[in-house]
Amino acid sequence: MPQMNANLNHQFNTNLSRVQPTPIRVFDNNASKIPGIVKLTLGEPDFNVPDVAKKAAIQSINDNDSHYSAGSGTPQLRQAIANYLQNRYDLTYDADSEIAVTIGATEAIYASLFAIINKGDQVLIPTPTFPLYEAIVNLLGGEAINIDTSDNDFVLSPDALKKALADHDHVKAIVLNYPSNPTGVTYSADQLKAIADVLADTDLVVIADEIYSELIYGGHHTSIAKFIPGQTIVLNGASKSGAMTGYRIGFMAAPAELMKRIGMVHSIMITSPSDPAMAAAVPIFDSDDGHQATLDMKAAYEARRDFLVAALQKLDFTVTTPRGAFYVFAKIPADQGTDDVKFATKLAQEGKVAVIPGSYFGDGGEGYLRLSYATSMDNLKLAVDRIKDLLNK
């Protein structure tokens, strides 16, 4: 095995030293080594890819669909996405100039931020949230400004937004994620409108990560792009709604002038997404079978959520029923202290249940645990029994 020449240590992009390996992965990897552990750590569906999507991928392979596509994705998939945005969320985007298919929502987040951030630029990030945003901002030489939302039921209030804007001089963008990883909280149309009214008076770019938009239990998803489309980049994808995280299909939608810039970053980075994966995503976004598959998975998630929330409340965790995604963000019972890393470590080592400490999701997550219910009901029942045993010890 070759050893790296030690002199190369000086050759790296200095921004890399601002990024740490995500503690979520580290915690999950360590917990996974514990024999017999039940894992409620994963942020990905436990369902198989729907048949309609598998068949489309196989058809694409058999059709020798194996060439570079347009950088923004195949016309079929972009049209399917345009139809999806119109039909599901009443958003109008042109398939040719305002939509690009990305390698998961992850690449869409990266390309969007890359197109915006210069060294020292600030990005507002309501927390607790998905840690990738801050990591990418740091990697790009920007500065992430956390806005702790824990005292407002994990919802960004217009006043907190105004304060953050008044307190910082170099804010270029804001990242909003709803329904949220890790809290499962989502925004009503009125809440979004109130935030949009504040943002409309600024020249901030709004990065709206709506990857969990199809997983809303009761009510319907509204995008902030309904109110301020001219400054919003909508990010979404097939990973969660189509249970196809490994196919790596995401997308971004934005006004053509914005998309031109982000699309440049995107095509330089990836050339084009994979043909069979794009073919698989078409029916997820734009067919009755694909939609039904998502609805079936959603019904299963909802039943699991209801079970888990009720069970945790009985064990004296403080939990508000989350309206979206597949996470419960539970406050540790008062008699167990407030150190979430300590509690989660004990729960993994002694209770054999793996969950993610809330503080790993940024300011406001201290004292909480994120439990993913993207796992079977049997696993959830076992996990609850074990948590109960640990608390009774």
239 is a site residue for ligand PLP (CB under 6 A): yes
Smallest distance, Å, CB 130 to ligand PLP? 4
Distances (CA, A) of 70 to 73, 101, 191, 273, 284: 5, 10, 37, 9, 20
Among 27, 37, 41, 43, indicate the residue that binds ligand PLP (CB under 6 A): 43
Give the residue from 210, 146, 149 showing the smallest Cα distance to 174. Answer: 146
Query: Restricting to residues 153-192, which ones interact with ligand PLP according to CB under 6 A?
Result: 177, 181
Stretch that binds ligand PLP, among 98-106, 156-164, 192-200, 336-344 (CB under 6 A): 98-106
Structure tokens at 7: 């002199």
Specify the 3-state DSSP secondary structure of 330: strand
Q: Which residues of 364-385 are buried (b: 16+ CB within 10 A; e: fewer)?
A: bbbbbbbbbbbbeeebbebbbe
Structure tokens at 119: 């060294």
Stretch that binds ligand PLP, among 49-57, 68-76, 100-108, 163-171 (CB under 6 A): 100-108
Distances (CA, A) of 102 to 77, 78, 272, 320, 376: 11, 11, 8, 34, 30
Of 104 and 263, the one with the shorter C-beta distance to ligand PLP is 104
Query: Restricting to residues 196-215, which ones interact with ligand PLP according to CB under 6 A?
Result: 209, 211
250 is a site residue for ligand PLP (CB under 6 A): yes
Stretch that binds ligand PLP, among 31-39, 89-97, 102-110, 193-201 (CB under 6 A): 102-110
Of 211 and 311, the one with the shorter C-beta distance to ligand PLP is 211
Strand-pair category, 99-103 with 249-253: antiparallel
Q: What is the DSSP letter of 318?
A: B
Of 177 and 359, the one with the shorter C-beta distance to ligand PLP is 177
Smallest distance, Å, CB 341 to ligand PLP? 20
Are residues 200 and 338 in contact, defined by beta-carbon separation less than 8 angstroms? Answer: no
Of 105 and 353, the one with the shorter C-beta distance to ligand PLP is 105
Smallest distance, Å, CB 157 to ligand PLP? 20
105 is a site residue for ligand PLP (CB under 6 A): yes
Smallest distance, Å, CB 372 to ligand PLP? 10
Among 131, 184, 237, 273, indicate the residue that binds ligand PLP (CB under 6 A): 237
Angstrom distance (rounded) from CA 290 to CA 85: 15
Count helices and strands in the chain by DSSP H and E runs: 12, 12
Please give the distance of CA 10 from its chain centroid, rounded to a whole number: 34
Among 97, 202, 245, 287, indicate the residue that binds ligand PLP (CB under 6 A): 245
Are residues 379 and 40 in contact, defined by beta-carbon separation less than 8 angstroms? Answer: yes
Stretch 270-309: interaction string toward ligand PLP, x if CB under 6 A: ----------------------------------------
69's CB contacts (< 8 A; 6+ apart) are: 272, 273, 275, 278
Give the residue from 220, 279, 245, 332 showing the smallest Cα distance to 75. Answer: 279
Of 112 and 181, the one with the shorter C-beta distance to ligand PLP is 181
Sign of the dihedral defined by the CA atoms of residues 331, 333, 334, 339, in that order: negative
Among 104, 242, 283, 365, indicate the residue that binds ligand PLP (CB under 6 A): 104
Structure tokens at 379: 């696993």
Of 104 and 276, the one with the shorter C-beta distance to ligand PLP is 104
Give the residue from 210, 188, 216, 149 showing the smallest Cα distance to 358. Answer: 149
Smallest distance, Å, CB 314 to ligand PLP? 28
Of 183 and 336, the one with the shorter C-beta distance to ligand PLP is 183
Binding site for ligand PLP (CB under 6 A): 43, 104-106, 130, 177, 181, 209, 211, 237, 239, 245, 250
